[in-house]
Amino acid sequence: MFDLAGKRFLITQTAFWSLRGSEMVTFELAEYLQSRGARVQIYTRHHAGAIAKLTKQAGLPVVTNATGYAFRLEDYDYIWVHHQLLPPALLEQLADPPAAMPVFLFHHMSSLDSNRLEQPYIDGFEARLAGLSLFISDVVRDKWLPKLGEGHPAALFPNPAPQTFSQYEHPAFPETPRSVLVSSNSRSPAMPAFEALGMRVHTRGISGDTYSRVSPGDFDGHDAVFTAGKTVPYCLCAGVPVYVRGYYGIPGYLTDASLGQAAGQHFCGRGSATGKNAEDIARELVDGYAQAVEFQTSRREALIERFSIDRVLPPLLEGLRPKAIGPFSREYLAYVKEAMR
């Protein structure tokens, strides 16, 4: 496996305060790299809230004052960019790049036109700097990669789960689900229908019974998970049946038949049925349970290979080398700096 010990990483993130979305991608990436012996630093404009406590506990350094820290390009082996963000000092150094340049990776986590920060919105910037552009799913890649030019290096980074999920062993599953974990930042209207069928329900998220980082132990005592998005790879690696109810559609339980479509849309539900009512969903949760357990049990190793960060990340980094990057004009860098505001 690719040796990360001593490698120097800077990860950038516009805002870093909540326990969801891109913030958790940044945190889990930094946490994994640090566990492998890498030296990791996070740069963000805003750092507070629940995730600030996590980063402190993990001993991850976070820089928020761009003018108060002496950033230098030669101090990093890799710069992992979210939201097209770089500290201003590093931008200025691109006018006269040092001989020892880092590898730049740019990561995109949404295909929505309304989410400007997830787009390669700065003309020519990523195309010129990136040694590799990453995308959480097929649909995100297909939306933004054409804007980076033909032949641009690209790969998937599909919200991989921390390694602790692949090491988890769930107690034996019952014949029908008795307890459901709902992991969502909004309460599901289907929950009363679950309870009407005799299932206990516990909710996680901003509006739920619990608001904290999802860990493998949260699956103890629950027979299935009802969720979408980033929590889905956690379930796939942990071997726990997962029913996907996305914002844009309802793929239902993940099986061999539904995994490809659902993963290609990063488990947000696009392209899936939208007209299911609460009773339909509750009945599917019961009737499809045995098949979902079989899928998770028989395919677990393949799912870990595809969705666990220790299997996904090292091969992406192993072959990367810094690009030969000539000086950027100061006029162009002034445009980039203004675009990042």
CATH number where 111 lies: 3.40.50
* Residue with tokens 């940044």, as numbered in its chain: 26
Rg of the chain (C-alpha set): 21
Confidence at residue 187, expressed as pLDDT on a 0 to 100 scale: 63
Give the range of the structural domain holding residue 232, as residue numbers without chain letter.
163-307
Q: Are residues 142 and 247 in the same domain?
A: no
Q: pLDDT of 53-100, one tens digit each?
A: 999 999 999 999 766 789 999 999 999 999 999 999 999 999 999 999
Is the residue at 149 inside a domain?
Answer: yes
Q: CA–CA separation, 224 vs 272, rounded Å?
A: 20
Structural domain contains residue 23: yes
Q: What are the per-10-residue average pLDDT scores of the chain (341 residues)?
A: 95 91 95 98 93 95 85 97 96 96 97 93 96 97 97 97 97 94 73 86 71 90 92 97 81 90 87 74 93 96 98 96 94 95 82
Residues 6+ apart with CB under 8 A from 103: 77, 78, 79, 131, 132, 317, 320, 321, 322, 323
Q: What residues have CB less than 8 Å from 264, skipping those under 6 apart? A: 137, 138, 139
Tokens 């919105």 — which residue? Answer: 121
Task: Give the count of domains, the chain.
Answer: 2
Q: Is residue 2 part of a domain?
A: no
- pLDDT at residue 138, as a whole number: 96
Could you tell me if 174 and 254 lie in one domain? yes
In terms of domains, do 303 and 319 share one?
Answer: no
**Judgement on whether residues 185 and 149 belong to the same structural domain of the protein:** no
- pTM of the shown model: 0.94
Using alpha carbons, select from 73, 3, 20, 15 the residue that is nearest to residue 42.
15
- Length of the chain measured in residues: 341
On whether both 172 and 281 belong to a single domain, the answer is: yes
> Do both 32 and 68 map to the same domain?
yes
Residues 180, 68 share a domain: no
Instruction: Answer whether residue 3 is part of any domain.
Output: no
Residue with token string 């033909």? 150
In a domain, 87, yes or no: yes
- Tens-digit pLDDT profile for residues 132-141: 999 999 999 9
Answer yes or no: is 1 within a domain. no
**How many whole angstroms separate alpha carbon 162 and alpha carbon 172?**
23
Has residue 54 been placed in a domain? Answer: yes
- 240 with 301, same domain? yes
Sort strands 252-253 and 200-204 into parallel, antiparallel or unpaired.
unpaired
Same domain? For 241 and 123 the reply is no
Q: What is the pLDDT of residue 18?
A: 87
Whether 68 and 191 map to the same domain: the answer is no
Cα 137-247-297 angle, rounded to 5 deg? 60
- What's the pLDDT at 207? 56
Q: Same domain for 177 and 200?
A: yes
- What is the model's pLDDT at position 274? 63
My answer on whether 129 and 167 are in the same domain is no
